[in-house]
Structure 1
Amino acid sequence: MSLSRHDDSDRLVRELDWNLLRTFIAIVQEGGITAAADRLLLKQPSVSNALKRLETSLGKRLIERGPSHFRVTDAGQSLYREALEIHGSIARLTVEIRDIEDEIRGHVRIRVASHVVFPPLDETLRDFSNRHQRVTFEMAVATSADVQASVLEKKASLGICLVHRKHPDLTYDHLFREHFAFFCGPTHRLFRRRDLTLEDLDGEASVAFDTDSLQDALRPVAILRTRLNLDDTIRATSSHLEEVKRLIVAGVGIGPLPIHAVTRDIEDGLLWQLPPYEDPPPIDIYLVTNSASRLNRAEQGLIEMLKEKTAALPPAARIYPPPGPLRGT
């Protein structure tokens, strides 16, 4: 029984050595067996034998050659065109597989202090997540001390926080400097007063951050609090900016907040800035990493992107608000 065309096709797919097509392409393009052998770094008999095997598999004469002539037959021309297409498809497939293997995926654990407002961080999260759709994130707010502890204990990929004392086993990259001011809420007697001096704040009831002490990360704010005689007037504390702000807006007391983080609340009439208007306490915010951590590619990539976006800013653009005297509005 003779084989059908369908059976012939199936046999060819099963038995054809794809390297024979690669060899055939070289023979056609080089115009001879010897030149093709030189290109493929093979011996001439190996190339000649490959051509014979291919012709036997297809049952067609592909090349007519002799001492003085070389001609690709019609069947050879047709096969050459198809072989080029197959070769191109294999090349594209290799690239696609490589890209799949190179696709960044992984989980990134971020610990951040509650009052971090830094546009390059938001841009990094946006751009990195858009570029790497398979990366997942976990963000948790903690005190600056807990942020550093999480990075040190390898419970977090990176941390962003205030730093009072640097741990020798951690790496600190400066991100930006923010300035704090004291504020009051709409029901407070000092709200919208423009003629205030430091003496007007003397002994006022106040609220504070947990880290607002001479021995912690908000030491510059604590020094100002001492100047204002507010050390013994603290009515409430919290480790989170939103809760400190809530207490201030509610009228529990005056309190410190990073100026650039509450700009919208000032514009909306929820907060009123109090003295001192010049030389507000500066606080530096750092990216904290652990060189001993075995980071995945997602963690490494996010950290590098944040560093690059930060480094692209001129130093003055990493100071909030910009240098200059400040006034309540």
Structure 2
Amino acid sequence: MRRPTTAEKIARDLDWNLLRVFLALAESRSVTEAAERLSLKQPSVSQALKRLEDRLGQRLIDRDPGHFALTPQGIALLDEARAAHAAVLRAALAVTEAGSEIAGEVVLALASHVVTPVLDRALHDFFPRHPKARLSIEILPSADALARVASHQASLAICLWSNPPGGLQSAVFYREFFGLFCGPGHPLFGRKGLGLADLAGHAAVSFQTDRLGDALSAVAHLRQQAGLTGPIGQSTHLEEVRRMVQAGLGIGPLPLHVAAEDVQAQRLWRLPPYEDPPAIDVHLAYAPKARRNRAEQAFLDHLHRVLADTPLSARIYGP
């Protein structure tokens, strides 16, 4: 009879609850926050981490006053713990959703600037027809949204497609165009006949992905062309970038169709360039080999039908 390997022994004896505690610690990076998230006392969280480290024979987290960091072993375990968590959820859902009706939870990871009637219509058409399907929407930076899909923590993502993890596929969901804007109180607000050179030397605010080589590389190039300084303020959320622009912190990029209402209400002022603004594609991202519950598969199929029935020309929001 073959003797079990060390890895098989660990898998046989490992308590899933210890992995659950480790996952909460790794994602919250705080014993206090992890305890609140798990509804446990802090000593229980610390003891669970110690038991897991003892069982694996590896230190997973370095913790000192003012310092919290995963060790290389902890980093290696994190993706596996996420995958195990997703597998446990799928197993529970598979048992409870064994009937013929479409049911289950759809976790939709969205970038903050996803504004399109195509998605609104898809949600309206799908979920009222399937009352046992549940929807959870998480607003995340695009890189994190893609990572959630790759680790099976999210059903699908609608976000920017930049340096995606392996194993994912995507389809263009819509195309948006970015412009530069300032808010009331800015010296350029309300001024007409401006050229790109008039922006030089003014401070900028922007998205954290507004970097050359990143998802908003075209926007970063525009900011450099305009000679803007900074950025002095950044956020992963469109609402906060818009807030900084309106508050007068600096000139910032926003999708033209998202900013249109604020421009009309004089809460924002469009700045040059007025022609050939940078185009950014927003993608539907999914893991083709993932095991999905019925609601996840049905909703993904529904989105593919919506995209097939709606030509890209009708999903372009721009000049």
Q: Does 1:320 align with 2:317?
A: yes
TM-score by length of 1: 0.65
Q: Trace 1:129-148 onto structure 2 (pairs within 5 A).
A: 129-148=127-146
Stretches of structure 1 that go unaligned for 5 or more consecutive residues are 1-99
Letter in 2 for 1:243: E
Q: Does 1:280 align with 2:288?
A: no
Aligned residue for 2:179, secondary structure, equals strand
Aligned residue for 1:161, secondary structure, equals strand
Share of identical aligned residues, percent? 46
Deviations 1:251-294 (A, max 9, x none): 01010001111222112111111000000011011000012211
Q: Does 1:198 align with 2:216?
A: no
Please tell me whether Structure 1 or Structure 2 has the larger radius of gyration of its CA atoms. 1
Letter in 2 for 1:247: M
Could you tell me which residue of structure 2 aligns to residue 228 of structure 1? Answer: 226
Rounded to whole Å, the distance in 1 between the matches of 2:241 and 2:127 is 31
Could you tell me which residue of structure 1 aligns to residue 239 of structure 2? Answer: 242
8 A Cα contact 1:203 1:233, kept in partner: no
8 A Cα contact 1:172 1:287, kept in partner: yes
Report the aligned-residue RMSD: 1.3
Deviations 1:60-80 (A, max 9, x none): xxxxxxxxxxxxxxxxxxxxx
Q: Trace 1:26-37 onto structure 2 (pairs within 5 A).
A: none
Rounded to whole Å, the distance in 2 between the matches of 1:185 and 1:154 is 40
TM-score by length of 2: 0.67
Deviation (angstroms), 1:213: 0.1
Rounded to whole Å, the distance in 2 between the matches of 1:274 and 1:295 is 45
Aligned residue for 2:192, secondary structure, equals coil
Q: Does 1:213 align with 2:186?
A: no
Rounded to whole Å, the distance in 1 between the matches of 2:250 and 2:282 is 26
8 A Cα contact 1:107 1:135, kept in partner: yes
Letter in 1 for 2:128: N
Q: Trace 1:1-329 onto structure 2 (pairs within 5 A).
A: 101-230=99-228, 232-321=229-318, 326=319
Aligned residue for 2:118, secondary structure, equals helix
8 A Cα contact 1:120 1:306, kept in partner: no
Deviations 1:108-128 (A, max 9, x none): 101010001121111111111
8 A Cα contact 1:108 1:135, kept in partner: yes
Letter in 2 for 1:225: R
Aligned residue for 1:264, secondary structure, equals helix
Rounded to whole Å, the distance in 2 between the matches of 1:161 and 1:314 is 19
Deviations 1:138-169 (A, max 9, x none): 10111110011000011000001011224331
Letter in 1 for 2:122: T
Moved over 2 A (4+): 165-168
Rounded to whole Å, the distance in 1 between the matches of 2:155 and 2:299 is 10
Aligned residue for 2:119, secondary structure, equals helix
8 A Cα contact 2:183 2:245, kept in partner: yes
